[in-house]
Amino acid sequence: MPKEKPELSDAMREKLRRKTPEKNPINGTKFTIAISSAKGGVGKSTFATNLALALKKIGCKVGLLDADIYGPSIPKMLGINEKPKSDGQKLEPIVKYDIQCMSIGFLTDEQTPMIWRGPMVTSAIKTFTQKVNWKDLDFIIVDMPPGTGDTQLTFSQDIKMDGAIIISTPQEIALLDVKRGIKMFDKLGVKILGLIDNMSSFTGEDGKKYAIFGEGGVKRTAEEFNKEFLGEIPIDPEVGKLGDQGEPIVEGNPENKISQIYINLAQKIKSNYL
């Protein structure tokens, strides 16, 4: 007869629990949501910025953290041309449109390349999560860089991540990287809230809908990995125009169809967390 395994004592259970490092929330925040893809050029920064503004419009206190050290976009998208204040210990987030913001782009010249190795990127991310005076936020939206590297690992292993939204365009070449990103978050134990089909189609002056990058790929990927499909965001030239002017569409034209998509998604997120 095989010997029965002994019951673990309370002391042993506590010892095993302590071996698993606890992830810490970002100080001053309730919930941290990553906007990711693993693919560049699919609209993560545009999505992150407009989602943050949509959450603000429905009454949430929101922060926006630009975690793309090599290619920060948030300063341009929000029209911020100032440096954050510091007391020597912590940085003060810059407030624009009533959301608290931080980016490496606030600390460097717009055209300065960040020629940094991985440990320097990790150090910058830890500064933004530990040494920024985020104040009383319901949500902090994190604009992730492309890939599955140091930034994603730092957040997933060290920070209490409450969810990730995966952004992609519909073509297969983009979805190859997206699938790697999904597997990464699953492996690291980060809950994926769902997938967004960005730049899904364009409606011409003739009223016809054109699927420029293909059709249905993001929804099929969501089904393949048993994730929620959160919907489509079509192409609208006004999104790019207002973003370039530092006034994202949710702020610049809240009645636009695209803005309403963001606001509806923000309401869904708010109802799930608050």
Paired tokens of 161? 């991540």
Q: Is 216 helix (H, G, I), strand (E, B) or coil?
A: coil
Q: Is residue 21 part of a domain?
A: no
Give the chain's radius of gyration (CA, Å): 20
Q: Tell me which DSSP letter residue 106 carries.
A: G
Q: Is residue 89 part of a domain?
A: yes
pTM of the model: 0.88
The Cα–Cα gap between 197 and 247 comes to: 23
Q: What is the C-alpha separation between 210 and 175, in angstroms, rounded?
A: 19
Which tens digits make up the pLDDT trace of 21-49?
567 789 999 999 999 987 778 899 999 99
Q: What confidence score (pLDDT) does residue 8 get? A: 52
* pLDDT tens digits, 123-148: 889 899 999 999 999 999 999 988 77
- Whether residue 242 lies inside any domain: the answer is yes
Spatial separation of the C-alpha atoms in residues 252 and 271, rounded to whole Å: 25
Q: Which helix (H) or strand (E) holds 62?
A: strand 62-66
Q: How many helices (H) and strands (E) does the chain have?
A: 10, 10
Domain of 103, in residue numbers: 26-273
Amino acid at 146: P
Domain for residue 12, yes or no?
A: no
Burial tier of 270 (Cβ tally within 10 Å: 0-12, 13-18, 19+): middle
Number of Cβ within a 10 Å radius of residue 16: 10
Averaged pLDDT of the chain = 88
SS3 label, residue 174: helix
Q: Do the domain assignments include residue 151? A: yes
Query: How many domains is the chain partitioned into structurally?
Result: 1
Angstrom distance (rounded) from CA 144 to CA 84:
21
For the chain, list residues with pLDDT below 70. Answer: 1-22
Rounded CA separation 178/5 (Å): 43
78-97 per-position pLDDT tens digit: 999 999 999 989 999 999 99
Q: Which whole-number Å values give the CA distances from 185 to 3, 89, 196, in the listed order?
A: 39, 32, 16
Check which CATH number belongs to the domain holding 147 and give it. 3.40.50.300
Coil vs helix vs strand at 194: strand
Question: Could you give the CA distance from residue 214 to residue 130 in angstroms, rounded to a whole number?
Answer: 41
Contact 203, 210 (CB under 8 A): yes
